[in-house]
Structure 1
Amino acid sequence: MRHAESLGNVDELAYTRIPDHALPLTDAGRAQAVRTGAGIRDLIGDEPAAVYVSPYLRTTETLRLLAIDDLCERVVPEPRLREQDWGNLQDPDDQEVQKQRRHEFGHFFYRLPFGESGADVDDRVAAFLSELEAHAVSHPRTVLVISHGLTIRLLCRRVFAWSVDLFESLSNPDTCEFRTLTGDGDGWKLDRPFVQWRESPDGSGQG
């Protein structure tokens, strides 16, 4: 699940005066998270869940407002699920330059001068998934991840072995939007595809 609407979603200049990890939810985002709680509760069902949450303010605040504490066997703040690192406080002019260069170069391989590339995020997501798999025997069967748009796409890229071309053709989920991955022992299924803003250049798909 992606976090609810944050200040950075409605005011890009917020990144120039507030650290990314400290950006709060907007009032609309708080209401959005409260409304989404019932849907998440229905998805989790009766079995306890393990919750892994990015330690950023907007993700932890989203989790709190879902009001599902009684369904959580454990809640783990997981730094590997944080947003792609753009550096520290961003210069507004350079911010636009970097966005354009990243778009032209590709979101996966372009490394931000004081931050990460998508490939760097992919590596830490892979480490998280490997650790999760290693603890599968003593772990709740249901896992809720509350993270960020690009990170969620890369989690799915890893699980389904999507190509880089396909990853770059997919849009982030909306705020408070979620995807359900169901395992049947032989593999994983995604409840619905991500929106594509273009066809994947290599012709691959999400199915």
Structure 2
Amino acid sequence: MARPQRIVLVRHGESEGNADDTVYEREPDHALKLTETGWDQAKETGARLRKLFGQEAVSTYVSPYRRTHETFRAFGLDSDQVRIREEPRLREQDWGNWQDRDDVRLQKSYRDAYGHFFYRFAQGESGADVYDRVGAFLESLHRSFEDPDHPPNVLLVTHGLTMRLFCMRWFHWSVAEFEALANPGNDETRTLLLAEDGRYTLDRPFEHWRLPESYGATG
């Protein structure tokens, strides 16, 4: 088994929806493009990734959304060193089809009160649904490590909530711990680093938007 030395998670650059949430009323979420700022952010992140990876091979998985594909292209990684796959299980949390801005803002306030993990958008997914498909992806990812020639680097270009849920699943965080975490900013990264004891550690924690709460023991 060839376990990668690092697994890098990247949130996409600023998108049209990040800059103007009324765009969801006119354009499908998956079709939203990066803004000029988003392209600049991705290019800056790409420079850091190129330095991090050097000439090493990289196994890359990209959410099927336009903004994640554009983010990856802006990285400017050498095509000879990158093995890329589109991975639908790494997509954004579905909030429904075209969205009414005021309704979404109201539902987000409900979600804050109800809990980000369990709250289900009226026509979309809950965080728990995303957790389940991220878990299915992790099973596939672990099987890929059985290849003795697996690259020493894995790169996931995805979305903020998906990044948090990936780490929750990997590190076995509780729902209460997840609920306290804030999304990373656009084009922020988190890296899982392989230690000498064979375990992975996170290079830096997610910020908290509130203190974790717990209402029961876990065993």
Into which bin does the TM-score normalised by the smaller protein fall? Answer: over 0.9
Q: Is the 8 A contact 1:150 1:172 kept in 2?
A: yes
Q: Which residue of 2 aligns with 1:46?
A: 55
Letter in 2 for 1:111: R
Displacement of 1:93 in angstroms is 2.6
Higher helix share: 1
Alignment gaps of 5+ in structure 1:
none
AA at the equivalent of 1:165: A
Q: Give the match for residue 174 of structure 2.
A: 163
Gaps of 5+ in 2: 1-9
What percent identity do the matched residue pairs reach? 53
User: What is the rounded CA distance, in whole Å, between the counterparts of 2:177 and 2:51 in structure 1?
Assistant: 31
> Are residue 198 (structure 1) and residue 210 (structure 2) matched?
yes
Distance 1:14 1:98 in 2: 17
* Among candidates 64, 71, 80, match of residue 62 of structure 1: 71
| RMSD of aligned residue pairs (Cα, Å) | 1.4
Bigger Cα displacement from structure 2, 72-81 vs 114-123: 72-81
Q: Which residue is equivalent to 1:25?
A: 34
Q: CA deviation at 1:140?
A: 1.7
Aligned residues between the structures? 203
Q: For residue 149 of structure 1, what is the aligned residue in structure 2?
A: 160
The answer on 1:12 being equivalent to 2:24 is no
Deviations 1:76-120 (A, max 9, x none): 010000000001000223212211111111010011111100000
Q: Show the 5 A alignment for 1:169-180.
A: 169-180=180-191
Q: Aligned with 1:143: secondary structure?
A: strand
The residue matched to 1:69 in structure 2 has which SS? Answer: coil
TM-score by length of structure 2 reads: 0.89
Moved over 6 A (4+): none
Shift of the alpha carbon at 1:125? 0.3
More relative contact order in 1 or in 2 (CA 8 Å, sep 6+)?
A: 2
| Alpha-carbon offset, residue 186 of structure 1 | 3.0
Q: How many angstroms does 1:199 deviate by?
A: 1.3
- State whether structure 2 residue 116 is matched by structure 1 residue 107: yes
SS of equivalent residue, structure 1 residue 51: strand
Residue aligned with 1:137, SS = coil
